Amino acid sequence: MIKNIWITLSLFCLIYTGVVLSVRSGTFSFTIWIALSGIFAIFAYLAYGKNWNNLMPILRYMICAVSGIVFVIFVICQTAIISHSFDKGKNDLDYIVVLGAQMRGNNPSIVYRYRLDKAYEYLMANENTICILTGGKGANETISEGEGGRDYLLSRGITTDRLIVEKESRDTVENIRNAFNLMADNVGAHNKIGIVTNSFHVFRGVRIAKRYTSDEVCGIAAYMQPLYMPNNMVRETFGILRDFVNGNM
Phi, psi of 161 (to 5 degrees): -70, -10
pLDDT digits (tens, 9 = 90+) for 77-114: 999 999 999 999 999 999 999 999 999 888 999 999 99
pLDDT digits (tens, 9 = 90+) for 25-54: 656 788 999 999 999 999 999 998 889 999
Q: b/e string for 127-165 if b means 16 or more Cβ within 10 A?
A: eebbbbbbbbbeeebebbbbbbbbbbbeeeebeeeebbb
Mean per-residue pLDDT, 106-123: 96
pTM exceeds 0.85: yes
Residue 182 burial (10 A CB sphere; 0-12, 13-18, 19+) = middle
Q: With 90 as the cut, is the pLDDT of residue 24 above it?
A: no
User: In the chain, what are the domains?
Assistant: 2-83 (no CATH), 95-226 (3.40.50.620)
104: left (phi over 0), alpha (psi -120 to 50) or beta: beta
Q: What is the pLDDT of residue 189?
A: 65
Radius of gyration (C-alpha) of the chain in whole angstroms: 21
Closest CA to 209 of 83, 98, 124, 74: 98
